[in-house]
Structure 1
Amino acid sequence: MEKLFIESEDKHAVEAYRQIVDYVLNDMSVKSLDAIHIYADPTALFFSCRVDFERSGTPLKIRDLSTERVGEEDVDLVIGEERYLADMLRKLWDVYGQDRVEQSERQHIIVKGVSNDADVEKLLDVMVVDPLEDFYEQLITLAVDIIPVGFRVRRVEYAGDSVLVIASEKTIEKEWIDYSKEKLQWNS
């Protein structure tokens, strides 16, 4: 990876982390990474890593994936993108409950008890797919795979287009968090 920055007093640790990161990246095929910053001091009791990325993909709402037909007491959603049907059903069940949401036909979902304009707008604004949420999970998995074995206590922070992971064998102390944020130029 071109934008891999590793800070360590131990030159062997730098090369080892470079190999680990290359291996993990090849295995995961994570896209849209901008840079990875690692602070690894073999004498310290903690490890820290900042992963920067470029946002890609746009969130999809029900209004983006369907056409609505508003009835007197319900809304019939005609699904245009069938591949998101399962995700859409799950989200609607979470928001409205399974008793108010039914799939009447293959590409039709009926939501009962929604008829006035405000309720319909709320329904159409339900987020079905958020690529950033999935991407954060990938970045955390990436960072966890880089963390030294045995460092099971972890702290994860998100800010804009970055994820910060601090790990240790012990309870993470405030000084370590502050030091990591300073070393890795973390702006939260």
Structure 2
Amino acid sequence: MDSLETFVVEATIASEQEFYRKIIEDNLSSLKLAPAIGRIKVVLRPEDSLFQMAIILRDVGTKVTTLDIADVEAKPVAGEIIITIKKEQYMTELLGKLWERYGKANISQPDRWTVAITIDKPEEEATFIKEMMVADPRHRLHENLVDFAIRVTPEGFRVRYHLYKSNHFVFVASEEALEHEWIEEAGAMLEELIEGGKK
């Protein structure tokens, strides 16, 4: 697991501190989130039925276009576009976008590194495909962060609040109705992490 700049777990019951630290580490690893997270702080107060988490993310990159992951070539005589894959990790997203636009019947995959699209105006469509957004890592990261937070939250803490903005993520959960001050406390935890990174 990538080392975090800051990894703090506070619990009012000492035995739960290491237990939750291990749960968090295991889930960071299984969801492959560690490279995206720079700093994390978790506070657990069972007596208040309260779980709080603040995270500062590392830069996860920008939107990925087809040209970022493949070469695109129009073949007007053959009436097709050939896409040669350079980065395979986005293949599922690329195929999904192509199927949606051109239909599965017009797309073939002669090998794992090549996608061929049979089409009427290959030059025009090749220009579109080159600039087409294939994936947005930030969107996927948001989903994974929420999944991670829910996984590490104590059983039964079903009343939840989260905020994902810029490179910050705050999560609060409880068995009871959430108190406004708990959300403010989580915001203060985030500020503490931000300040800690400036030292």
Same fold (TM over 0.5): yes
Instruction: State the distance in 2 between where 1:2 and 1:16 align.
Output: 22
Instruction: Give the conservation status (yes or no) of the 8 Å contact 1:3–1:35.
Output: yes
- Partner of 1:185, secondary structure, is helix
- 1:47 maps to what in 2? 51
Structure 1 portions without partners, runs of 5+: none
- 1:91 paired residue number: 97
Q: Secondary structure at the match of 2:47?
A: coil
Q: How does 1:57-76 map to 2 (within 5 A)?
A: 59-64=63-68, 65-69=70-74, 71=76, 76=81
Q: TM-score, normalised by structure 1?
A: 0.71
**Separation (CA, whole Å) in 1 of partners of 2:84 and 2:123:** 21
TM-score, structure 2 as length reference: 0.68
Deviations 1:117-136 (A, max 9, x none): 5x654432222244444444
* Counterpart secondary structure, 2:46: coil
* Partner residue, 1:20: 20
Task: Find the counterpart in structure 2 of residue 108 from structure 1.
Answer: 115
Structure 1 112/37 Cα, relative in aligned 2: closer, same or farther at 3 Å? same
What's the % identity of the aligned pairs?
22
| Cα separation, 2, equivalents of 1:47 and 1:142 | 13
Contact 1:156 1:164 in 2 (8 A): yes
- Residues 172 and 42 from structure 1, CA distance in 2 versus in 1: closer, same or farther, beyond 3 angstroms? same
For structure 2, the residue ranges without an aligned partner over 5 or more in a row are 195-199
Q: Is the 8 A contact 1:51 1:163 kept in 2?
A: yes
* 1:139 matches 2:142: no
SS at match of 1:78: strand
Structure 2 Cα separation of the partners of residues 116 and 6 of structure 1: 56
Structure with a larger share of its residues in helix? 2
Size of the alignment, in residue pairs?
A: 182
* Counterpart AA for 1:154: R
Q: 1:162 aligns with which of 168, 171, 174?
A: 168
Contact (CA 8 Å) 2:10, 2:43: kept in 1 or not? Answer: yes
Structure 1 outlier segments of 4+, above 4 Å = 56-59, 113-117
